[in-house]
Amino acid sequence: MMQQRSTYQKIGLTGGIGSGKSTAARRFAVLGARVYHADEISRRALDPGAVCYDRVVSAFGQQIVRSDGTIDRKKLGLIVFADEEKRIMLNEIIHPYVIETLFAKAKQDFADELDGVAVFEVPLLFESGMSAQMDRNIVVSSTEENRIRRVMERDDLTREQVLSRMHAQMPENEKRLLADDILENNGTEEELLSQVDALFAVIKSGGLHD
């Protein structure tokens, strides 16, 4: 279900929390792709004065605002990952802006290029519907235990907090079914990077799925 080819290939890159998608994204950048990170845009969208700030504060109240006026993202996270309706509310505020901004940046960057590869690292690639606008969708996959361990170490969260975030995302097996390509990340980082290298060679050769 691929869209008509534009002047550059649009590659969606996703995976559950702790899967290693950011490591894969960095490798794609090293190999020459332009990489766009949804998380960076969504974070900036919550800065004071930014496009989503007022709507989020209005929706979730002053309890999420620090004394300096910034949003306490960890507190906001605890709220939305404990309440499905509030998580959906937050996503409905942020997702349209993030998607529009990602595509606008890529369109500007590739305006004068006849060919190229844009990799969009989007945690909620399938959930947001953005996957339908990609030429190819890649999932970085890892076992639940590996992911839990990585996120606990990285974000200083309890096992229960990590699980609440994982369960708020599309199940791993569903992502795998929707993917055009799967990068397995249950071994060493070098093994993951070698898979990225091989896949990027296919992408550059124009080896898109029918």
pLDDT, tens only, 149-178: 999 999 888 999 899 888 888 998 999 999
Distance CA 86, CA 108 (A): 34
> Does residue 201 carry a pLDDT above 70?
yes
Amino acid at 145: E
Looking at per-residue pLDDT, the higher value among 11 and 1 belongs to 11
For residue 207, what pLDDT band results from cuts at 50, 70 and 90?
Answer: low
Residue 36: is it exposed, middle or buried by C-beta count within 10 angstroms (0-12/13-18/19+)? buried
Which domains can be identified in the chain, with CATH numbers? 9-43+96-204 (3.40.50.300)
Q: Name the amino acid, one letter, at 129.
A: G
Contacts of 120 by beta carbon, 8 Å cutoff, 6+ apart: 10, 11, 12, 13, 35, 36, 38, 102, 106, 130, 134
34 touches 116 (CB < 8 A): yes
**Where residue 208 falls among pLDDT bands split at 50, 70, 90?**
low
pTM of the model: 0.87
| Tokens linked to 204 | 């550059």
Torsional class of 61: left (φ above 0), alpha (ψ -120 to 50), beta (otherwise)? left
